[in-house]
Chain A
Amino acid sequence: MLLQVSNLRTYFKTRSSLVKAVDDISFELDQGQTLSIVGESGSGKTAAALSLMRLIPGSAQLSGKIMFEDQDIVTMGRKALFGLRGDKIAMVFQDPMTALNPVLTIGEQLIEPYLIHRKMNRKQAFNLGIALLQKVRIQDAEKRMHCYPHELSGGMRQRVMIAMAIALHPPLIIADEPTTALDVSIAAELLELLKSITREQGSALLLITHNLGIVARYADKVMIMYAGKIVEKASKVNLYQKPQHPYTQGLLASVPKISADTGKKLTPIPGNPPDLATPPKGCAFYDRCPFKITQCGRNVPKLTKLNDDHEVACFAKEAGR
Chain B
Amino acid sequence: MKNRTLYLGLIIIAALLVVMAAAPQIAPHDPEAQDLYHVLEGPSEKHLLGTDDVGRDLLSRVITGTRPTLLIGVLSTLFSGIIGVGLGLVAGYKGGAIDMAVMRVTDAFMSLPVLVVTLALVAIFGSGMQSVIIAITLVNWTGFARIVRGEVLHTREFVYVEAARAMGASGLRIIFYHLLPNVMGPIIVTASIAIGGNIMIESAVSFLGLGAQPPLSTWGNELRIGYAYLEVVPLFSIAPGLLITLTVLAFNFIGDGLRDAFDPRISQTFNKSKEK
Q: Interface of A with B (CB < 8 Å)?
A: 53, 55, 82-87, 90-91, 93-95, 98-104, 112-113, 116-117, 161, 164
Contacts and interface: CB of A to CB of B under 8 A. Distances in A.
Contacts of B159: 93-95, 98-99
B167 A164 contact: yes
Nearest to B171: A82
Contacts of B165: 55, 85
Nearest to A57: B95
5 contacts: A93-B163, A98-B158, A101-B160, A102-B182, A116-B168
Nearest to A83: B168
A103 B181 contact: yes
B182 A116 contact: no
A86 B167 contact: yes
A280 B169 CA distance: 40
Contact of B167 (A85, A95, A102): A85
Interface string B156-197: 001110111111111001000110011010000000000000
A98 B166 contact: no
Interface of B: 158-160, 162-170, 173, 177-178, 181-182, 184
B160 A112 contact: no
B160 A99 contact: yes
A90 B184 CA distance: 29
A175 B1 CA distance: 48
A68 B164 CA distance: 21
A93 B168 contact: no
Given A101-B178, A101-B182, A104-B178, A116 B160 contact: no
A86 B162 CA distance: 12
Given A101-B181, A104-B177, 19 more contacts: A85-B165, A85-B166, A85-B167, A86-B169, A87-B168, A93-B166, A98-B160, A99-B163, A100-B163, A101-B160, A101-B164, A103-B181, A103-B182, A103-B184, A104-B181, A112-B167, A112-B169, A112-B177, A113-B168
Nearest to A84: B168
Nearest 6 CB-CB pairs, A to B? A86-B168, A86-B167, A85-B168, A91-B166, A98-B159, A103-B181
